[in-house]
Amino acid sequence: MEIKELSFAYKHRAPIINGITTEFQKGKITTIIGPNGSGKSTLLGLMARNYIPQAGKIIVEGRQLQQLKAKELAKLLAVVHQQNEAPYDLTVERLVAYGRLPYRHMFSQETEEDREAIDWALEVTKLAKLRRQRLHELSGGQKQRAWIAMALAQKTSVLFLDEPTTYLDIFYQIELLELVKELNETYGLTIVMVLHDVNQAVRYSDEIKVVKDGSIIAEGAPEDVMTVELMKQVYDVKAIIRRDEETGMYIVPIAVKA
Amino acid sequence: MTYIAAIVLLIGVTLYAIRTGSIKVGLAELISGLLFGGNDNVDVIRDLRFPRIIVAIMSGAALAVSGVLLQSVMRNPLADAGVIGISAGAGFVSVLTVMIWPMLFFWMPLFSVIGGLIACFLVYTFSWRSGLQPLRLILVGVAINALFTGLNQLLGFRGGIAMSTANQASSSMFALKTWDDVKVIVLYGVIGLIAAFALSTWCNLLALQDRTAGNLGLNVMRARVIVSFVAVLLASVATAIGGLIAFVGLLVPHISRQLIGTDHRLLIPFSAIMGGLLILIADTVGRTLLTQTEIPASVIMTIIGGPFLIFMLMRSDRVHGN
């Protein structure tokens, strides 16, 4: 996936994305980080075609994003948003079945393939036993997994996650990131996600892209990108960076003034 | 199960409605009269009561389904063709046209749809910038409704030629419905209801956020326009033939959701049955309650609908949470 000279501004506002050019590697986990308002979620939204850029282009699987039909796009990439709304009586199974809609026509029946994709998505997200439960009865972590299952049922090669851990307890945060890792390692999914927590980004990513004021100011392997200087430049904090035998690199912000 | 109960109830009430009224006949007499003729009472029932019953059922079904569609497309449980001015717009444009060109009477449903579309378009235009925010949309709708209701009354005050036609679309009188009315409402109504059912998957997706629906391959803008159009068609045809009836599109979908859930594949047909049932009951009660005169179904619906709306507002915080 490639991005060229991408710019975007919300109506009557200052531009939030300023001519970004970058590339996302196939089969890897790439994480976009940056402070609030930096444009990191907007960048992901543009790549998911939730917004239309004012300039530049995005190329997915060799094709221009804007020229794809809605259903074609939904077969190429799936998106899990930070916050979701659903009717109060929607069951897990019906939600996951929505993931098959890009493959259905107006009156077509559920096929064997649909069935298998739904079962697989429920299995991978460990929701098989909860399939008949209502979404609203699930815990925060289970709910988020259900939305991921819906995205998985789309059987795309690319999965986007917008701050998937923000509203979860630590247990569910780690559980979710382990799931993301498994999806990447076992099923070869290309993952692009936005994360808030720099340490989670370091631990679970092959590549990190750091966004500030609508531009990518650093990108590459976590070990190379994350430095004391960068933490100062991006978040305006003084941080110490240490290495641990078990976890590898970790970052501790210790003061607001350097 | 709930489905079967609703269908049985609808058939039961229909049979009761056919037999009851100023002329009463037995079931056997009715069937033999219909099949072999020669019974004056049955002929009267066939020419006067049958059309009225069919129009009542179709109007109710169309208005209820129109409500379901509008609620889904506007993501707002309070959206209803009557509340946001679509019915009033439909009534106004059709009556105005027929006043100016009386010979266009046959095309009244068409002008009705145009009026409904104008009203719907206005509501969207004025609430679009706030991102179709529920409360704003309803307030804009109430204002549009007030505007068209006022214009309707203006036409009514002009009297004379207006009165004969204006009555039809500005208050609902199911009496004096003919088989021609039945043909129109059944034709457009059935087309609209089938279209609505075909759109049920889209309606389900519109209940999610726009971006989620978009990522699932739905062209959200196109879906909104098409679903709105079908909703306006249903409401306008019901208004053109059955007249203005408020609250059906609010009451019926709400009750139906409680009984059958929010899956539109089930909700749309069920609301159609319940809507038909409700208006048929209202009309039958209206014409049998007092022997000397008739209470229009619209009056009965307004009297039930007002308190129900308050009840719904009080409950909605508790049940749905959002």
DSSP letter for each residue of A213-253: TTEEEEEE-HHHH--HHHHHHHH--EEEEEEETTTEEEEEE
CA–CA distance, B60 with B72 (Å, rounded to integer): 18
In the prediction, which pLDDT does B161 show? 44
In the prediction, which pLDDT does B130 show? 73
Residues in chain B with CB shorter than 8 Å from the CB of A107 are 198
> In angstroms, how far is CA A235 from the centroid of its own chain?
21
In the prediction, which pLDDT does B173 show? 61
In which band, very low, low, confident or very high, does the pLDDT at A132 lie, cut at 50, 70 and 90? very high
Question: What is the chain A residue with the closest CA to B200?
Answer: A106
Return the CATH number of B57-320, one of 3.30.465.10, 3.40.1010.10, 3.40.50.300, 1.10.3470.10.
1.10.3470.10
In which band, very low, low, confident or very high, does the pLDDT at B294 lie, cut at 50, 70 and 90? confident
Q: Rounded to the nearest 5°, which phi and psi values hold at B155?
A: -60, -40
The overall average pLDDT reported for chain B is 85
- The DSSP letter of residue A165 is T
Is B46's pLDDT higher than 90? no
In which band, very low, low, confident or very high, does the pLDDT at B19 lie, cut at 50, 70 and 90? confident
Structural contact between residues B222 and A81, judged by C-beta atoms closer than 8 angstroms: no
In the prediction, which pLDDT does A151 show? 97
In which band, very low, low, confident or very high, does the pLDDT at B316 lie, cut at 50, 70 and 90? low
In the prediction, which pLDDT does B158 show? 55
A-B C-beta contacts closer than 8 Å: 67
Least confident of A71-85, B131-145, B160-174, B239-253: B160-174
**Are the Cβ atoms of B216 and A102 closer than 8 angstroms?**
yes
Is A91's pLDDT higher than 50? yes
Identity of the residue in B204, B211, B217 whose CB atom sits nearest the CB atom of A73: B217
Question: What is the chain A residue with the closest CA to B198?
Answer: A106
Residue A16, SS3? coil
Of B209, B221, B279, nearest in space to B65 by CA: B279
- What number is the average pLDDT over the span B308-318? 70
Structural contact between residues B298 and B243, judged by C-beta atoms closer than 8 angstroms: yes
Complex prediction ipTM: 0.89
Is B299's pLDDT higher than 70? yes
Does the CA dihedral A187-A188-A191-A197 come out positive or negative? positive
Of B90, B94, B112, nearest in space to B102 by CA: B94
Question: What is the chain A residue with the closest CA to B77?
Answer: A87
Residues in chain B with CB shorter than 8 Å from the CB of A106 are 198, 201
Identity of the residue in A49, A94, A106 whose CB atom sits nearest the CB atom of B214: A49
Structural contact between residues B277 and B9, judged by C-beta atoms closer than 8 angstroms: yes
Spatial strand order of the sheet with A29-33 comes to A77-80, A158-162, A190-194, A29-33, A207-212, A215-220
**Are the Cβ atoms of A86 and B207 closer than 8 angstroms?**
yes
Instruction: Tell me the two tokens of residue B7.
Output: 């269908």
Residues in chain B with CB shorter than 8 Å from the CB of A71 are 217
Structural contact between residues A149 and A124, judged by C-beta atoms closer than 8 angstroms: yes
Highest mean pLDDT among A68-82, B232-246, B297-311: A68-82
Residues in chain B with CB shorter than 8 Å from the CB of A135 are none
Residues in chain B with CB shorter than 8 Å from the CB of A159 are none
pLDDT in tens, A1-34: 899 999 999 888 888 999 999 999 999 999 999 9
Question: What is the chain B residue with the closest CA to A102?
Answer: B217
Residues in chain A with CB shorter than 8 Å from the CB of B214 are 49-50, 70
- What number is the average pLDDT over the span B176-187? 86
In which band, very low, low, confident or very high, does the pLDDT at B146 lie, cut at 50, 70 and 90? very high
Question: What is the chain A residue with the closest CA to B219?
Answer: A70
Is A196's pLDDT higher than 60? yes
**Are the Cβ atoms of B218 and A101 closer than 8 angstroms?**
yes
Enumerate the domain spans of chain B. 57-320
CA distance A46 to chain B (A): 11
Residues in chain B with CB shorter than 8 Å from the CB of A72 are 217
In the prediction, which pLDDT does B318 show? 53
Q: Which residues pair with A29 in a beta bridge?
A: A191
In the prediction, which pLDDT does B165 show? 46
pLDDT in tens, B59-113: 999 999 999 999 998 888 888 888 889 999 998 998 888 888 888 777 888 899 9
**Are the Cβ atoms of A84 and B261 closer than 8 angstroms?**
no
The overall average pLDDT reported for chain A is 93
| B91 vs A96: which has the higher pLDDT | A96
In the prediction, which pLDDT does B70 show? 94
Question: What is the chain A residue with the closest CA to B259?
Answer: A89
Q: Best of A46, A49, A89, A101 to disrupt the B interface by mutation (most B CBs within 10 Å)? A: A101
Say if pTM beats, i.e. exceeds, 0.95: no
Is B317's pLDDT higher than 70? no
* Three-class HEC string of chain B: CHHHHHHHHHHHHHHHHHHCCCCCCCHHHHHHHHHHCCCHHHHHHHHHHHHHHHHHHHHHHHHHHHHHHHHHHCCCCCCCCCCCCHHHHHHHHHHHHHHHCHHHHHHHHHHHHHHHHHHHHHHHHHHHCCCCCHHHHHHHHHHHHHHHHHHHHHHHHCCCHHHHHHHHHHCCCCCCCCHHHHHHHHHHHHHHHHHHHHCHHHHHHHCCCHHHHHHCCCCHHHHHHHHHHHHHHHHHHHHHHHCCCCCHHHHHHHHHHHHHCCCHHHHHHHHHHHHHHHHHHHHHHHHHCCCCCCCCHHHHHHHHHHHHHHHHHHHHHHHHCC
In the prediction, which pLDDT does B163 show? 44
Least confident of A39-53, B165-179, B194-208, B298-312: B165-179
Identity of the residue in A75, A86, A89 whose CB atom sits nearest the CB atom of B208: A86
**Are the Cβ atoms of B205 and A75 closer than 8 angstroms?**
no
Residues in chain A with CB shorter than 8 Å from the CB of B71 are none
In the prediction, which pLDDT does B36 show? 82
- The DSSP letter of residue A134 is B
In the prediction, which pLDDT does B314 show? 76
Domains of chain A with CATH codes: 2-226 (3.40.50.300), 227-258 (no CATH)
Question: What is the chain A residue with the closest CA to B215?
Answer: A74
| B248 vs B41: which has the higher pLDDT | B248
